[in-house]
Structure 1
Amino acid sequence: MAAITAKDVQTLREKTGVGMMECKKALVASDGDMDKAVEYLREKGLAASIKKGDRIAAEGAAYAAVIDGVGVVVEVNAETDFVGKNEKFVGFVHGVAAVVAKENPADLDALLAAPYGNGRTVQEEQQEMVLVIGENIKVRRFARFDKNVSVAYVHAGGKIGVLVNLETDLPAEKVEAIGKDVAMQIAALNPRFWDKSQVDQATLDEEKKIMLVQMENDPKMAAKPEKVREGIVVGKMRKFYEENCLLQQDFVKDGSMNVEAYIAAAAKEAGGSVKFVDAVRFEKGEGIEKKQENFAEEIAKLQK
C-alpha cells in the first residue's frame, strides 16, 4: 500500500472540502490514488458538492457578538445574498462564532478543526451546510477579544460586523451605548487608522508629497513662499487625520466634537473612564473578486 502523507490528506481536503479524518480514510481505502479517493467520497455522499467548492462565495454574512464576555467577529461566505438570510446558514454563522469564543483557535485551520459541538468539527459542519443548502459556503476569517469590555454591532443584517474593545472601570452595561456609537461610526466611515499615532511615516511622506505636487501645479499656490506652503501642508495633514483616523474624525451624531472627545464626555457622564483600545471591522465579500454576470448576453445566447 502506498504511504499516505499529511500533504496528500491536505490536498484531498482542499479538493473536496471534506474533513481531514474522512479524507485520510478515503485515501487509505483508495490505496493513495487521489482520483479514486475523490470518487470514494462522492459515493459516500461527502463530496457531492465538490464542484461547488470552485464557485465564488462572496456573499454570506459578517457577524459580531459578545459570548460569555468574549468579543467575537466572524465572516462566513456563501454564493448568494439570498442564502445569507437562510435560517440554517445564520445558525451556522452563530455556531462558528460560539466556537471561536469557546475554543480560542490560533488560526483558520485550527478553527476548522475545532469541535462544532454536535460530534462534528467546524469543517465537517461547513461541508454539511454545503450539502444541505446547495451553495459553496466557507468560513473566511475571525477575530476575538477576551480582555477588557467588547461591544458588538452588526450593520444591515450582516453586511458589516464590527467589534469594539474598550478599557474601562465601568460595568459592561454602562459602556454598551458608547461602544455601539463608536462601532456604528466605524461601520459607516471605515477609517484607515484608529488614531493618528498609528499613521506610518511612509503614508505621511506620500500624503505630503501629493500635497506639494498639487500646490506646484497650482500657479497661485506655486507663487507663495516655501514657508507658507509648508504651513498649508500642516493644515492639510490635520484634515487628513480628521478624515482617516477614527478618534480624530468628527463624531457622526454630533459634529461639534470628534470621536475621542465623545468617548471622554460620555465616560464622564457615566461616572467613570473609557479608553478605546482596538476594533475589528469585517465587511462581507471584502476583497473577493465577484463574478460579473451579463444577463442580457446570457439571454441572447439562449435565444440562438
Structure 2
Amino acid sequence: MAISAQMVKDLREKTGAGLMDCKKALVENNGDFDKSIDWLREKGISKAEKKASRVAAEGLVEVKTDGNHAIIFELNCETDFVAKNDKFTALVKKIASALIEAKKPCEECALEVEVDGKALKDVLLSETATIGEKITFRRYELITKEDNQVFGSYVHFGGSIASVVVLNGENEEVARNIAMHIAASNPQYISRDEISEEVIKHETEVLTAQALNENAESDKPKPQNIIEKMVIGRLNKNFQDICLLSQPYVKNPDETIKSYLKSANSSIALFKRLAVGEGIEKKEDNFAEEVMSQSR
C-alpha cells in the first residue's frame, strides 16, 4: 500500500512521534492507522524503559480545586528546558483536569486515570518516548474540605512551587493570601503543638552540643545555666521559623500569621506545599573530572 504524506502527517499529529518513525510504522503495518499507533507505542515503551535509570528532578508542580476537593501533584522531567516547554506545561494542565474530575484517593490509582483515552501511566511512557526525557508522576494528593471551609491555592513562578490551604471560615481572599505565604515561607507545621517530642528532643540535643562547642572555644566561657537559656532561646527561634502561625506574614511582617487569621476570624485546618525536585537526589556533574577523563 502506498503511504501518502498526509497519512504520515496524521499519524505524527496523533502520536507526536517523528516523521520517519511514523512513515516506518505505516509501512510496517501496511497503512493500518490503529496498528501503526500501537506499533509506535510499543517502540516508544521500549525506548522509555531505557531511560528509567535517569534522574528526573526538574518539572512542574500543580494544584487544582473543584468544589470540596483539591488535588496537588508533581510531574518531573530531566531538564529545565523541557519543564519550560509549552507542550510539557499543557500536559501538566491536562493531567490536572483529569485528576480533579476523577478524584482518586491515592497515587497508584491516579496512574490509572484516563487522560485523552489512555491511562496516565501509559501517557507518561508515551511522553517519555516522544520528548526524549524520563517523565515521572509523584507526590499526588487528594484533599477534601467541609462545606464551612474554603480552599486557597497558589502556584509560584509558573509551577516551581505550589501550595493549597484549607481555611475554617468563608474568606477566600484570606485563604489565597495564606497559600501565597506558605509558598514563600515554607512552614513545616501549623503550630508548635504539632511538633513531636522526638523532634524537640533531637533539636535540643543538637543545639546543646552546638552551644557547648562554642563555649569551649570562647575566651569567656559561660556558666551552665546561661548555656541552657541560650539553647531554649535558639530552640524557640527555630520553631518560630518553621511553624506557620508564628511566622511573620509576608505581606505585613509587623504581624504574625496567627494575628492575621484572628483579625479575619479564620483558622487553618491544613495545608500542603510542594516545590519541584524535593526529595530527589540530583546528579552532580564534576566538569573538571569529565574533562580529565576525556583527555586520558
Shorter chain as normaliser: what TM range? 0.7 to 0.9
Match of 2:52, SS?
helix
RMSD (Å) for aligned C-alpha atoms: 2.7
How far apart are residue 205 of structure 1 and its match? 2.0
How far apart are residue 74 of structure 1 and its match? 0.9
- 1:42/1:48 contact within 8 Å kept: no
Residues 293 and 145 of structure 1: CA distance in aligned 2, closer, same or farther (over 3 Å): same
* Aligned position for 2:24: none
For 2:41 and 2:119, the matched residues in 1 are separated by 19
Aligned length: 251
* Aligned position for 1:99: 98
Q: Deviations over 1:13-33 (max 9, x none)?
A: xxxxxxxxxxxxxxxxxxxxx
Are 2:282 and 1:293 equivalent residues in the alignment? no
Residues 120 and 126 of structure 1: CA distance in aligned 2, closer, same or farther (over 3 Å): same
- 2:111/2:119 contact within 8 Å kept: yes
Are 2:158 and 1:157 equivalent residues in the alignment? yes
Unmatched 5+ stretches in structure 2: 1-38
* Aligned position for 2:119: 121
* Aligned position for 1:191: 187
Q: Deviations over 1:248-281 (max 9, x none)?
A: 112222222211111222x2xxxxx321111111
* Aligned position for 2:261: 263
The amino acid that maps onto 2:81 is: F
Question: Alignment identity in percent?
Answer: 32
For 1:150 and 1:162, the matched residues in 2 are separated by 10
* Aligned position for 1:203: 199
* Aligned position for 1:241: 239
For 2:41 and 2:251, the matched residues in 1 are separated by 55
> What TM-score comes out, normalization by structure 1 length?
0.73
Residues 223 and 292 of structure 1: CA distance in aligned 2, closer, same or farther (over 3 Å): closer
Residues 77 and 157 of structure 1: CA distance in aligned 2, closer, same or farther (over 3 Å): same
The amino acid that maps onto 1:137 is: I
Residues 87 and 213 of structure 1: CA distance in aligned 2, closer, same or farther (over 3 Å): closer
Are 2:138 and 1:140 equivalent residues in the alignment? yes
Unmatched 5+ stretches in structure 1: 1-39, 268-272
Match of 2:79, SS?
coil
How far apart are residue 298 of structure 1 and its match? 4.0
- 1:221/1:229 contact within 8 Å kept: no
> What TM-score comes out, normalization by structure 2 length?
0.74
